[in-house]
Amino acid sequence: MAHFAKISENNEVLVVLTLNNVDMHNADGVEDETVGQQYLETHNNWPAQMWIQTSYNTFRGTHNNGGTALRGNYAGIGMTWDEDDQIFWPKKPYASWVKHNASASWKSPIGDAPELTEEQITQNTPADENTLSTHRWHYVWNEENQTWDLTNDLA
């Protein structure tokens, strides 16, 4: 099964359709994206070049099953197709965040959130199955101060 994203003129993903693999076989019986695009143009009334193949198992630049990642992320409605970088981008979470092509994801200008300390991880973990954890520590991005703020949801 192959997946294709239908994109608008502004490169927004409108819909993602599945296609039988045989419908994208060329004359030699080899899968060819352009054949799939042509099939979709004929049957879905949308220009061939505006159908972009996407991989169901690709997320953040890696393939879940150890295969070859295709175009950064599996496309979803509302995502943006970046033709230059050949990546489907999710919505930008904060205005200040920047693209990180290697992981096909958005990063804060100061990088990832710091790791939780051993103590915080211990507090996040319930002592046994009959008790609840005492804390729920995690970092939340503070766009105003441009910092990662440590937050306890159970406080």
Positions touching another protein (CB under 8 A) are: 6, 8-9, 12, 14-15, 44-47, 50, 77-78
Which residues lie across from 140 on neighbouring strands?
149
* Alpha carbon 100 to chain centroid, angstroms: 12
Nearest-approach distance from CB 27 to another protein, in angstroms: 26
Nearest-approach distance from CB 16 to another protein, in angstroms: 11
CA torsion sign for 30, 64, 67, 63 is positive
- The answer to whether residues 70 and 53 touch, using CB atoms and an 8 Å cutoff, is yes
Smaller CB distance to another protein: residue 77 or 127?
77
Smaller CB distance to another protein: residue 44 or 147?
44
Nearest-approach distance from CB 45 to another protein, in angstroms: 5
Smaller CB distance to another protein: residue 17 or 69?
17
The letter for the amino acid at 15 is V
Range 30-66 burial, b when 16+ CB lie within 10 A, else e:
eeeeebbbebbeeeeebebebbbbbbeebbebbeeee
Nearest-approach distance from CB 74 to another protein, in angstroms: 17
Q: Among residues 13, 50, 18, which one has the least CA distance to residue 34?
A: 50
Nearest-approach distance from CB 80 to another protein, in angstroms: 11
Smaller CB distance to another protein: residue 12 or 33?
12
Smaller CB distance to another protein: residue 38 or 44?
44
